[in-house]
Amino acid sequence: MNALRPLRRALVTAVLAVPLAACGRQVGSVPFSSAGTKSTTLPLAAGRVAFWTDLDVAYDGPATLHYQIELSQAGRHVATANCDPLGMKTVELGWLDITRSSFRSHRGHGKMLCGASLAKGGPTLVEATLAFGVQPLTATINRADLVVKQ
């Protein structure tokens, strides 16, 4: 039985690594600790761009939150995306949701159901606005980083 332990460990590692490898590599992020607009320039390749959230928020009352993202190359807008960090995600890592009456808390790292496609690669300005669509009674944003992966 002990002889199977290394084989079992290798199999478990491979099974866990395959889904994570399919998630792409992190190219960069746009950090948020409050609502507003921030930007950064990242070296993106041509092809699909995935957007993740690294989130730690708490709020009381109904709320919606979104990232409005614009990608620009050489001063021209080349793609846009609207992403919901509180909505469904295709991958969640270390995700924790807490609900007590009207209080909600969300924390973790997840791949949002949005993305963009670039015809050409190169330095790309990622400008993102984080905003509440429906403003809760109270809200605390400890972290709401927009993570860019390819």
Query: How far is it, in rounded angstroms, from Cα 24 to Cα 115?
Result: 13
In the chain, domain spans? 25-149
State pLDDT tens for residues 35-49: 999 999 999 999 999
Any idea of the CA torsion for 42, 43, 45, 49, to the nearest 10 degrees? -20
State pLDDT tens for residues 38-79: 999 999 999 999 999 999 999 999 999 999 999 999 999 999
Query: Which two tokens mark 31?
Result: 């950090």
Average pLDDT over residues 106-115: 97
Q: What is the pLDDT of residue 4?
A: 52
Query: Which two tokens mark 69?
Result: 């993202």
Between 145 and 23, name the one with better pLDDT.
Answer: 145
Burial classification of residue 138, based on how many CB atoms lie within 10 Å of its CB (0-12 exposed, 13-18 middle, 19 or more buried): exposed
Radius of gyration of the chain (CA): 18
State the architecture of 25-149 in CATH terms: Sandwich (2.60)
